[in-house]
Amino acid sequence: MPAPSAGCVAKPAGGPMALVGQAVYDVTDPVRPRLLCQVSNTATHLYTGDTFQYIRRSGDTGTEVVLHSMGSGNESVVAGWPIKLLETPFGRVGAWTPDGNTAATAVAATDSAGNQMIQIWLFSQPTTKMLYQFFQPL
């Protein structure tokens, strides 16, 4: 999977914005939305009137949250977790809260009898815990 990327083609004017798929639009005029930014190969949250967050890998099994300024293009890592939210065997099934305190994901596993399992993991500052596991459907 290619690395996540984010880039903006315009600066926000302070009006309402919408995240549609992997693009951020100024929707001051909803009939003629104006493209502000595009992201790819990741999941995104709008954060403030001029920033959004996206996630990227951190090492082999971690994830970090990147805060991207639409005005300046500056980025900073604002949170990270020891769980993988991108490139899981089940696609992008991870979820997180914008404050970075909580994240969840699904992980492929095998039980002691060799059965394929799906485990649901939660990271809630500062603890990582398996919540549930079930047999992988055929």
Cα dihedral 75, 8, 95, 90 in deg (nearest 10): -110
Give the sheet arrangement for strand 5-8, strand by strand: 5-8, 34-40, 23-26, 17-20
Is the pTM of the predicted complex or chain greater than 0.85? Answer: no
Exposed, middle or buried, 118 (CB in 10 Å: 0-12/13-18/19+)?
Answer: middle
> What pLDDT shows up at residue 6?
95
Q: Which residues, 6 or more positions from 23, have their beta carbon under 8 angstroms from its beta carbon?
A: 35, 36, 37, 38, 39
Q: Which residue carries 């909580």 as its tokens? A: 102
- Strand pairing report for 23-26 and 34-40: antiparallel
> What pLDDT shows up at residue 93?
64
The tens digit of pLDDT for each residue in 67-93 reads: 999 999 999 999 888 877 776 666 666
User: Which portions of the chain are predicted below pLDDT 70?
Assistant: 1, 87-93, 138
CA-to-CA distance for 97 and 47, rounded, in angstroms? 10
Phi, psi for 44 (deg, rounded to 5):
-135, 150
